[in-house]
Structures are given as C-alpha cells and as structure tokens.
Amino acid sequence: MVLAPMAVWALYGGVFRHSGPAFQVTIFEAAMAPMIGASIVAMEHKLNAPLATLMIGIGIPLSFLTLPLWHAFL
C-alpha cells in the first residue's frame, strides 16, 4: 500500500506527466486495502484461506494509515 501507489505515481505522474482527478483516484485505488471479494473467492477454491484472511486483516487497518498520507502528498 506504499510501493504500488509510488510506482503508479512515478510511472504516470513522472514519465507520462498525467495529473488531475483521474490520476489522484488511480493513486488512491492503488493504495487501497485488498478486496474482500477476492479473498472469499480464494477461500471457496481452497487457495490458502489463512493467507487470504491475513491479507485482509492487515491490509484494511494499514490502509487507514496510508491513505491520509497519500492524500496529503497529492
């Protein structure tokens, strides 16, 4: 939730010189927590359910900390 938005920002903001609301939304989406729906599908197909739930459990609280930082940065 730090490296992916930074990579998107560097690529689209630095290399391609994009800006504006669509660019900011893209950065926010890259900084968002993992999707709960994807974890449910992973658990239904028996793809390491403990890892899927761990990513949700860590990702959502961590995004509460990183999103305000990205908002201040942008």
The CA–CA distances, whole Å, from 47 to 8, 15, 30, 39, 52 equal: 28, 37, 23, 9, 8
State pTM to two decimals: 0.70
Token pair for 48 = 């390491």
Does residue 31 sit in helix, strand or coil? helix
Q: pLDDT band at 68, cuts 50/70/90?
A: very high
pLDDT tens for residues 1-60? 788 899 989 998 888 888 889 988 889 888 888 888 888 888 899 899 899 889 989 999
Domains of the chain by residue range: 3-73
The tokens describing 62, both together, are 């961590």
29 CB neighbour count, 10 Å cutoff? 11
Indicate the pLDDT class of residue 69, thresholds 50, 70 and 90.
very high
